[in-house]
Amino acid sequence: MKRIGMLTSGGDCQALNAAMRGVVKSIINSGQEVEIYGFLNGYRGLIYSDFKMLTGKDFSGILTVGGTILGSSRTPFKTIKDPDENGLDKVEAMKQNYYKLKLDVLVILGGNGTHKTANLLREEGLNVITLPKTIDNDLFGTDMTFGFQSAVDIATTAIDCIHTTAASHGRIFIVEVMGHKVGYLTLNAGMAGGADIILIPEIPYDIDKVIEAVKHRESNGSRFTILAVAEGAISKKDAKLSKKEYKEKMANYKYPSVSYEIADLIWKATGQEVRVTVPGHTQRGGSPCPYDRVFASRLGAEAGKLILEDEYGFMVGYRNREIVKVPLEDVAGKLKMLDPDSAIIKEAKMLGISFGD
């Protein structure tokens, strides 16, 4: 008998259900008896012993369903060791609930913050296996995360739709894509959608270069320009500020986001109409694309295999087109940034895409 605890933590995304389904089906199909404890709303469920018993039937028919049947929430790692409002030691509470239920392993699905806490629980002596979830694809130790490709598809569709109205009206359009710290999603959606300018956090932009690119297209007879802008895009000027100075600037920021500031500066410099579109949380929602369904299922199946073999303390990742197990201590606390000198950036520039640098 295997007693498995399972939770999904952090922002939701497509294919969480597919990944959990993969774990459970692989174990059940091995002939191993299993009890599944689904902790509700992320680490909160583990802290406050809020769970429900699940069977294989609960994982039937969820391959194509977005979101998570367990619910999710953000429990910041930086405060995980702080007592809650009632003085409860959250880490100790998670440990005690694990032992009370006599769990063999915790299966945790999440991104960067989730993996920090998962690794902490490993250090505290719990058996943990994780699966890499995030639409940002910024999790260290894996070439790909599930949810990413689905989000790329949605952001690309948004850019595709903007193309027709931009061409019709001869306007400049900015599509703001999710990604506070890294630009994988914006880069891939921007290239797939034929964006003319792509601005990402890893390459601080010069607004004069951005305006120059817009004017260059106009001089070449183009009636419109499309910019794919990451929500975490930053100017070269702001990138030089200290954390304190930047925080002070943002405290008095008059724009809803960086895209609106860029739009305002382009309008003032060119006199052309600029429109901003923000797909927002639609990028996290809906049914997972076929790639993510297959990918998440594979990761889940491999996690099930590790459980059957009593191998714990790993994230199931993807490297060089192979599913691999990565020690949690090699993952936690590390962010996978997009290299400004990477081949894909160079190739995008060869295609004529401007990064404002």
Task: Give catalytic residues, as residue numbers.
Answer: 136
CA gap 211, 217 in Å, rounded? 10
Tokens matching residue 7: 């939770």
Burial class (CB in 10 A: 0-12, 13-18, 19+), 155: buried
Nearest to 8 by CA among 56, 81, 73, 53: 73
Q: Cα-atom radius of gyration of the chain, to the nearest Å? A: 22
108: nearest Cα among 345, 315, 335: 315
Nearest to 289 by CA among 149, 177, 137, 131: 149
Phi, psi of 229 (to 5 degrees): -120, 125
Nearest to 42 by CA among 109, 105, 87, 93: 109
d(CA 149, CA 134): 10
Residue whose entry in the numeric block shows the structure tokens 């191993």:
32
The DSSP bridge pattern shows strands 314-319 and 322-327 to be antiparallel
Pair of tokens at residue 132: 């890499």
Tally of CB atoms within 10 A around 83 = 13
How far apart CA 329 and CA 14 sit, in angstroms, is 26
Any alpha helices (H) in 231-337, and if so which ranges? 236-239, 243-251, 258-270, 290-308
Task: Please say whether the beta carbons of 46 and 37 come within 8 A.
Answer: no
